[in-house]
Amino acid sequence: MKKLVMLFIVFISVSSNADCYGKLLNDFSVESNTFQIYDEEGTEAFYQNPEFVSVVTIKKLESKLTCEEGAIKIKSVSCRQLAPKIALSLSCYVEAQSGYFFVSTDLLGNFNVIFNRFD
């Protein structure tokens, strides 16, 4: 009986992750997708702690898509200025289990998030 319960829990977890993956890819109709998350306070904090704020932004996207909490499993985060010494060029690469995200901000309090699936 314990094995049956564990199998059921694993199935539900895999199913919810696949459901979120489908939402990220517009029901699998695209290979990549863009999202915009409004968070004026977060965009200001992005320049002080971009790795942390990028992860928080992905979690907000997860919630916005009505994914189960923790469905997007983040593996690593790396941030840098694309144009040296130009703060506005700061962008982060966030690698997840199912693909990777690019996170950047605009001057209007938005995070621009691009998701690309792994082949």
Q: What is the pLDDT of residues 24-77, one digit of tens each?
A: 998 989 999 999 999 999 988 999 999 999 999 999 999 999 999 999 999 999
Q: Where are the domains of the chain?
A: 2-117
* Residue 97, token pair as written in the block: 């289990």
Task: List the beta strands (DSSP E) in 10-107.
Answer: 32-38, 74-81, 90-96, 99-105
For the entire predicted model, the pTM comes to 0.82
pLDDT band at 1 (very low <50, low <70, confident <90, very high): low
Helix (H/G/I), strand (E/B), else coil: 82? coil
Whether 117 and 31 have beta carbons less than 8 Å apart is answered as: yes
CA angle at 9 for the pair 59 and 61, rounded to the nearest 5°: 10
Average pLDDT over residues 4-16: 41
Rg for the chain (alpha carbons), in Å? 16
Task: Label residue 66 left, alpha or beta by phi (over 0 means left) and psi (-120 to 50 means alpha).
Answer: left
